[in-house]
Structure 1
Amino acid sequence: MLARLASWAGRLKREVAALALAVRDPQAPLVARLLAAAVVAYALSPIDLIPDFIPVLGLLDDLVLVPAGIWLVLRLMPDELMERARRQVAAGDGPRPSRAAAFVIIALWLGLAVWSIRALMQLAS
């Protein structure tokens, strides 16, 4: 069972890497690119929708949202584009960590935090 889970996690990691490559391809449809960017950002983000320390629910979002997002993007992405991206990942030409992407993710989370705090302060007053 543990070996199956490890294998599944490895496939998920490779799919996220392939999606990260597919997002950059100009042949990808815009909707698929935007959704893939959101899925990749969420999968790689250190901040979860539901924090991991909350029993069961904290891990459930990672086990449901990321695979569901990948599934949806794979339905929208052209098959030949995804196969090309998978071959690149298998060959070791996967995406490299990007400081710009990290900055964008951090900025989005900070913006969401500021918006949430303001909304809560308005509710309290």
Structure 2
Amino acid sequence: MAEADLQFVAKLVDEEIRRVIAEAIESEGCVAASQCAVRIANAYPNSRVSAEDLAEAIVRAAISARVAVEVSRPSAAAHLYSTGERLSQRPGRPFAGKRLAGGHAAPGVEPGPNTRPSPAGTSGRV
């Protein structure tokens, strides 16, 4: 991709971040940095900017605009989706699912070593 094209895409990404912050200011809401970063990374896959870097830029912009921001890291699945990689292509541990309400694991997912069945409404952590 030509340098001019990269600069144009970078400007579009910056405008998207400004739009997210402006919407949060108007609605007096909270910005979910990782969700917005993954959405922007998926919308502009040729920007050559990772979802983590976008999330950091969104956090900095929200702080400078004095907007409430939810700071979290983009999930592995969202990152892999944005890069086009599949979970089955990654070496190491298979992807672990989340536990459902009531302490039951999602179908096909074994509970981890630090969990036990628990009454409904509790976390199930030991």
Larger Rg: 2
Relative contact order: is structure 1 or structure 2 higher (C-alpha 8 Å, sep ≥ 6)? 1
Between Structure 1 and Structure 2, the one with more helix by share is 1
Q: Could you tell me the TM-score, scaled by structure 1's length?
A: 0.32
TM-score normalised to structure 2 length: 0.32
- Higher share in strand: 2
